[in-house]
Amino acid sequence: MPDSDWYSDEAATFGDRLTAAREAADLTLSGLATRLGVKVSTLEGWEQDVKEPRANRLQMLAGMLGVSLTWLLTGQGDGLPPPGEETPADTNARAVLTELRDLRLSMAASADQLARLEKRLREMLKDEA
């Protein structure tokens, strides 16, 4: 089998690609589960191909792991290079992507907190009127 087909549908499952992408992003099961807002057992089920994530979680997974949704589902498109083909530039780029991803997640959490506080303040002002 050619190396280019390493993660194809014929050679790997969704769970295989998810596990490989999680490991390439240096995330633990519990770390990724926490970021996604799911239980570790749920994520384990996805990686073992026992359960399937919903569409919104699939999109989040692809973004957090730095792979395309298409690659995650089919092994085609922007994803991971086959084992042994990673270059030092890939490693450095992945480190930057990981840092960007962490920053984006932090910003999203702050935006959610800001929205909750705004809503609470509006309700408080509405009650005073």
pLDDT of residue 1: 37
Contacts of the segment 43-48: beta carbons below 8 A, 24+ positions apart? 46/14, 46/15, 46/18, 47/15, 47/18, 47/19, 47/22, 48/15
Phi and psi torsions of 6, nearest 5° = -50, -45
Per-residue pLDDT of the chain (129 residues; tens, 9 = 90+): 334 565 555 668 899 889 988 988 888 999 999 989 999 999 999 999 999 999 888 988 988 888 888 888 888 877 776 666 555 555 677 777 778 887 888 888 888 899 999 999 999 998 887
Q: Closest by alpha carbon to 84, among 30, 4, 26? A: 4
Taking the whole predicted model, whether its pTM rises above 0.85 is answered as no
**Contact of 70 with 36, CB cutoff 8 Å:** no
The token duo for 85 is: 């083909």
**Ordered structural domains, the chain, with CATH:** 3-128 (1.10.260.40)
